[in-house]
Structures are given as C-alpha cells and as structure tokens.
Amino acid sequence: MKKSLVNLGYFIREAFTLLRLNGISHLLSFVSIALAFFLLSLVVSTWWVSLQIIDTLQQEAEISVFISEDINQTDQEALTASIAAIPGVLGVRMVSETEAFEQMAAILGEEAEVLTYFDENPFDAYLETSVDPNQAAVIYQELILLPGVRHIRDNREVLHQIQSLTNLQRVLGLLFIAAAGTATLVVISHLIRQGVYQNRDQIHTLKLLGAPPAFIALPFLMVGLGLTLGGGLLATLFTRWALHLGYQQLAAPLPFIPLPPLTVLFRNTSLVILSLSLLLGIAGSAMGLKASRIQS
C-alpha cells in the first residue's frame, strides 16, 4: 500500500513535469478543448429543452374551435355536444371573451399593458377542446366539417416546426460530437507523441532499468486525462452560467414555455460532457502512446 502511494506521487510529479514542457502548447490545447466541450454542451442542452417542449405540448394537446358569430345558444349547445361525441375528444368547454382576454394578459405578463390600448376586447369566445394527441389529425378533419365552425386553431404546426428544429439539432449535435471528438483525439494524441519524443532519453533509461511499459506510460495517460477532464469541468462551469442566464432571459418574456428544471438539465448535460471528456482522454492518450511505440 505504501509503495503504491509512493508511486502515485511519482506519477503525479511526472505528469506535472510533462505539462510544464511546452506549457503554452498545453494551455492552448486545454482552452480549445474546453471551448469545444462548452459549445457541445449548449447543443445538447438546447436539444433536451426542445424535446421537453414537444413532449409537454403533445401531452397538453388542445384545439381551439371558434364558432360563427351569428350562431344562437341552442345551436352552440348542439355544436358542443357534437364535438364532445367525436372519438378522441377528451373534453369541451366554452372560453368566454373575458377569459380569453385574461389568458392573454397572463401570458404577456409585464407586457400586458399593450392590451389597454384597445377600446374593445379584441378576443373572441371559443370552445377549448382537449384531445388525444394520437388522434388530433383525425379530429381536426371532423371538426372542420361541423356546421357553425368558423375557424380552428391547434398546435400541430407549432409541433411540426419544433420537431423539425429538434431533428436538425440532433443532426448538428451528432456532427458536432464527431467533430469535437475527432479534434480532441488528434490534439491529445499529438501532445502525447510530442511528450514521448521529448522524453525519449529518460524513457530509454527507464526501460534499461527494467520499468514496465505501463509504468512509463501512466504519466502520459494522466496528462491526456488531465487536459480533457479539466476542459470538461471548465466547460460545465461556463454551461451552468449560460443556462442560468438563458433561463432568466426566457422566463420573463415567455413564462408559458415548458422548460425542464434547470438543475436536472445542468446535471444531465454535465454527465454527458464529463463522460465524453473521460472517454476521449483515454482514447486520445492511448492513440498517442500506440503511435509513439512506447512499448517497443
């Protein structure tokens, strides 16, 4: 146990010695890796937010049915009953003009003052129809055929646009992961090869003294892991700040957006970034050691 602790201290000192060699090169590489992981964390977190919005909108699927202005009370009740009888409709209720005004005022928040400039209530009454998201398209086609229906508003177009953006983000995210991963592997591998070359005399001496390849390679592996894990940690710190700022900017003007909890989003994003940094650090160091033929 004592011998292991002594060796650990040696490995740490050797790793710091390797970092001091070409310190500027190591520093620039560290900053580049941190920046790449930070941009990647923004892509991942934005993708998760989009998925959360889509999931919430699908679970709260509603169709607003605006009725003709000249419809009487009896026909309105009959229309409500007809809508409620459609398979997949979960509930129907009348939203008055006053309630529609209050809903918009709540959505606008501090910007609701703009509504005071209207001489009359600009919002119409409508039938708020809760539907099964899986049958929304069929229900929509049946609603437009009902007499007395003037206009139908649903969130299908919004969902489609958000889904398209999410698919685009997924593709961009995968491409960015591939690009950032490849760049990190190349940088770490190059640094390890450079370190091995600069310390070739010391490595040769250790081989002559009978040091096993793992003993010689471990400090170089620690350097690669230190650069990638350090870059990942720095990226998560900047990510926490960026997410907190983003939530503050969105919460005030757009309080109705169903954002995931900030702590959960930050935790999941951090796990992805730190896991990638660990894997890339090991892989890049292994590539560099293999290319330098340290075992030969």
pLDDT at 195: 76
Q: What is the pLDDT of residues 190-230, one digit of tens each?
A: 888 877 777 777 777 777 777 777 777 778 888 888 888 99
- Those residues with Cβ within 8 angstroms of residue 185's Cβ, 6 or more apart along the chain or in another chain: 280, 283, 284, 287
DSSP assignment letter at 125: P
What structural domains does the chain harbor?
A: 8-57+160-292 (no CATH), 62-154 (3.30.70.3040)
- Is residue 149 within 8 Å of residue 67, measured between CB atoms? yes
DSSP 222-275: HHHHHHHHHHHHHHHHHHHHHHHHHHHHHHTT-TTS-PPPHHHHHHHHHHHHHH
pLDDT at 1: 45
The length of the chain, given as a count of residues = 296
d(CA 121, CA 115): 8
Model pTM?
Answer: 0.66
- Those residues with Cβ within 8 angstroms of residue 123's Cβ, 6 or more apart along the chain or in another chain: 97, 100, 101, 104
pLDDT at 3: 52
- Is residue 266 within 8 Å of residue 239, measured between CB atoms? yes
- Which residues of the chain are modeled with pLDDT < 70? 1-6, 10, 54-61, 107-112, 155-160, 162-163, 166, 250-258, 294-296
Take residue 174 and report the two structure tokens written for it.
């995968």
- Those residues with Cβ within 8 angstroms of residue 199's Cβ, 6 or more apart along the chain or in another chain: 18, 21
Q: What are phi and psi of 66, to 5 degrees?
A: -95, 125
Containing 93, the helix (H) or strand (E) segment is strand 89-95
pLDDT at 167: 75
pLDDT at 233: 93
d(CA 141, CA 286): 60
